[in-house]
Chain A
Amino acid sequence: MAVAEQMTEDLGLGAMTFAREIDERAPNQVYVEVAPEDIVGAAEHVVQRLGGRYVVTVGTDDRERRGDFCASHIFSLEDRHVFLTLQARVEPYEPAVESITGLVPGASWAERELQDMLGITVHGLDDSRRLVLPDDWPTDVHPLRRDVPYNIRPEPVEGLAPPRREPPPGASVMAIGPYFPVLEEPAYFRLFVDGEKIVGCDYRGFYNHRGVEKLGDSALTYTQVPFIAERICGICGFIHSTCYCEAVETAIGVPAPPRAKYIRSIMLELERVHSHLLWFGIAAHILGFDTALMQSWRMREPVMWLCERISGNRKTYGMNQVGGVRRDISAELAQEILQVLDTVEREWLELYRAAQGDGTLLMRLADVGPITPEDAKAICVVGPTARGSGLPLDARIDHPYAAYAELPVNVITFDNCDSLGRTLVRLEEVFDSIKQIRTALRNLPEGAVMVEIEEIPPGREGICTVEAPRGEAIHYVLTGPNNQLAQWRVRAPTYPNLQVVPRMLQDQNIADVPIAVGSLDPCFSCTERMEVVDRRSGHARLYSREEILELSGPRLGLREPPEWVHEHNDRDHVH
């Protein structure tokens, strides 16, 4: 308990009279239990006195275990490398808490989600509309409550639309979305425009919410979740599986072996490289600069091949497991990685110089989508979006995970505070990532890549952040009985970043909207499980792999998969 006491003293928690109970379970995680009425005061203390940066709010249905709900605001204390969680215990009959958006505007979405998913009323929200749930979802069903089954499917209701904000007088509405050619995913920005100038903006998203968290803490065991977690994102899947695995490892106090941690870092940096190359191509395409798109994606291709060599897949590697990784990197493979990286580095340098010398490109990026450091702090943006506005935030330094405690990461910031700044951050990060991979391969420790974990103890909490290419992703887990999770909260980096859009687009030109939004590298939602809904009956069913193959086989001329594929599938099924 020495660490906890030290922490209490260091953080001035003793001075917090409202702190009912201080609990410390892992060296970098402090949980403080606060009375619901004190939550705003506590948050104020953390933000103003301790310099805490708001990360996310997690709602927990603890009625089975402790007879109440819990609303946890997670803060990050960068200088002390600590997560400080303020937990308000909320009574179960009419659960309600005070909003902290007056203090931290960036908490708005997470608090709205608290209302949607757990039915905890948040008083004092400036925007109380639904965020996540569809418009026809019944008002009294809150999916993340434990007494709501994961496969519930309420009857659809026709003719409902999201409550909209009205444009200011004199302005007209221009819709970007729900489907828009250069935004690959559904998102609906209603722009209020005066001529070509934007005077306001309304947003509705979450069209593709798949209830992954609910699935993870009700239908799956903790060893199955990494494979679902990886499917949260089609680009940074490994980030989510790493984040989940390390959160569980922190919760149960069993770290992965050093070699596994290094391999995770290598894969994470490879993902950053291919993600930034992908992003640059898309950004160029948004500006009509297809030559840069083609070249950037051509350079990216060898990295994808590399991932396939390492894991067997270009994407969605299935490598992570709680306790380590399932594939090793041989000396021969390491050599191959280094060779490919040399080529990528050389070609990227050429493109980097060309981009910096391209006057038209710079003209389209400079002063577009400005985010002042004050806005960045208020909304709590992360990743290149924060670093492009001069905030040196990087989860790899702030809360080291994988092997980053031993890898010298160079945090790249620019003070441009616009799309150009965010672009330059990403362009340069590619070089730094390549450097990290080289160092990691050189220092790759010997030994096992996996520790066996039989059972996980219930009632443990774990938090992990991973610096995704788009910014800090965070996973919070609360373990439950029977090797299952009682609570799993995922916050992707786009979650805070998108909240800055209304401020960023104010007084901008319509022509700049796609690139300004694109400069956040948004990832609205990711791959979905194949689901077929029979419109007449309204019933949905999931198709198995065999059925999909059967359906598509004759048309696509697919053959039966070889025997070993079935064996492999069966084995995974038993898990």
Chain B
Amino acid sequence: MTVWLVVGGVVQVGLVLLLAPLFEGLMRKLVRARIHSREGPPIWQPYYDLFKLLVKEDTQPAAGWVYLLPSVLCLASVLTASLLVPLFGRGILGEQGDAILFIYLMAASVAAVVLAGAMSGSPYSSVGFAREIMMTLTVEPVLIMALITAAIDAGSLDLGAMAAWHSAHGPSLSMLIAAFALLLSVQAQVGKLPFDVPEADQEIMGGPFIELSGPKLALFKWAFWAKQLVLAALLVQVFVPWPTFTLGLAGSAALGAALCALVALVKVLVVVVVVAVVDAVNPRLRLDQAMAYFVAVIFVAGIGLILAFVGT
């Protein structure tokens, strides 16, 4: 059992790491560049970027392994969270962790960004991490409320059980509202426009990331791309788990699983495309405007929560 866990975990983490830059590259070339009337960079550009950054010299204002901590923590928490997402019935670590752990891991990835910002003495960085904290205060509750809505529906905190309950009981109003609110929050969670307030290149030049270079910057970039994939997967697997092929079309379980994976991939792609389009067609909001927006989203998510309580 443990061996299976380790092998499966390694394979899935590897897949997430491998696919995350590909999705980013596809979006840059096929969505962003299209909307811009541009040729766009090669689809493999994010891989080149990562490679370049990873082999680059790490210029840092102060030495010490502790400065590596935030970037490693960010990527590690995102990758661990990916193991909780139910891909085939249940996440690889579904036995060991539930929605609460997932929420904590997402919060840890944000805390890593704040930490990176706090480690720099730059005023831009201070403004950036302060903004990151403020944004999280309104964005994180959306994720929490969406998951609690699903937990109430399914009567369990287990992500796999939520997915199973949704696929068994069909779409409900509370679930749709929760899914919608979650979709809106993904945009901010992965630092895309109009909500990239903490980084805001044109205002505070990358905020918490201003003094990061080389491998550390690479790990953060990788973590954000992976986070987009993980959240999209969570959204489509837990809240929109149809169509399912668990029984298999021709009675073959393996074929069913493969079809499931394919459908999941397509649905994730749809979410990522939506995120990329919204990113391309919006200017950046100001912190107060972004927070006001998410306060409204929290209200919407709250309605979903109430509906779940009354059982709709």
Contacts and interface: CB of A to CB of B under 8 A. Distances in A.
Interface of A: 172-175, 180-182, 196, 284-292, 294-295, 298, 358, 360-361, 363-364, 509-514
Contacts of A291: 35-36, 280-281
A290 B288 CA distance: 22
B36 A295 contact: yes
Interface in B85-125: 123-124
B202 interface: yes
Interface in B56-109: none
Contacts of B35: 291
B295 to A, nearest CB: 15
4 tightest Cβ-Cβ pairs between the two chains A and B: A287-B283, A289-B283, A288-B284, A294-B36
Contact of B37 (A172, A174, A295): A295
A360 B293 CA distance: 11
B49 interface: no
A364 B289 CA distance: 9
B127 interface: yes
Please report whether the interface of chain A is mostly helix, strand, loop or mixed according to DSSP. Answer: helix
Contacts of A295: 36-37
A185 to B, nearest CB: 15
Given A289-B282, A364-B283, A511 B200 contact: yes
Given A175-B123, A181-B205, A295-B37, A196 B287 contact: yes
A361 B127 contact: no
A360 B284 CA distance: 8
Given A360-B283, A511-B287, A181 B36 contact: no
Given A174-B123, A298-B37, A363-B289, A514 B203 contact: yes
B203 A511 contact: yes
Contacts of A364: 283-286, 289
A39 B231 CA distance: 71
A287 B202 contact: yes
A42 B193 CA distance: 55
Interface in B196-244: 196-197, 200-205
- B: interface residue count bin: 20 to 34
B169 interface: no
A111 to B, nearest CB: 33
Interface of B: 35-38, 123-124, 127, 193-194, 196-197, 200-205, 280-289
Nearest to B193: A288
Interface centre among A172, A196, A509 (most CB of B within 10 A): A196
Interface centre among B200, B283, B288 (most CB of A within 10 A): B283
Nearest to A509: B286
B203 A174 contact: no
B280 A290 contact: yes
25 contacts: A175-B123, A180-B205, A284-B283, A286-B202, A287-B202, A287-B283, A287-B284, A288-B201, A289-B193, A289-B282, A290-B36, A294-B36, A294-B37, A295-B37, A298-B37, A364-B283, A364-B284, A364-B286, A509-B286, A509-B287, A509-B288, A511-B197, A511-B200, A511-B286, A514-B202
Interface centre among A175, A290, A295 (most CB of B within 10 A): A290
Contacts of A509: 286-288
B235 to A, nearest CB: 23
A292 B36 CA distance: 8
Contacts of A289: 193, 282-284
Given A364-B283, A364-B284, A174 B127 contact: yes
A196 B203 contact: no
A288 B123 contact: no
B282 A360 contact: yes
A358 B281 CA distance: 9
B203 to A, nearest CB: 5
Nearest to A289: B283
A5 to B, nearest CB: 57
A513 B203 contact: yes
Nearest to B286: A511
A361 B289 CA distance: 12
Contacts of A287: 202, 283-284
Given A292-B283, A363-B285, 5 more contacts: A174-B123, A288-B196, A290-B36, A298-B37, A510-B127
Contacts of A285: 202
Contacts of B124: 174
A181 B202 contact: yes
B202 A294 contact: no
Nearest to B127: A510
Nearest to A180: B205
A85 B297 CA distance: 61
B86 to A, nearest CB: 35
A76 B36 CA distance: 44
Contacts of B286: 364, 509, 511-512
Contact of B127 (A173, A196, A288, A512): A196
Contacts of B285: 360, 363-364
B281 A288 contact: no
Contact of A510 (B196, B203, B281, B284): B203
B130 to A, nearest CB: 8
B131 to A, nearest CB: 8
Nearest to A173: B123
Nearest to B197: A511
B184 to A, nearest CB: 14
Contacts of B205: 180-181
Given A288-B194, A364-B284, A511-B200, A172 B36 contact: no
A512 B35 CA distance: 26
A361 B123 contact: no
Contacts of A290: 36, 280
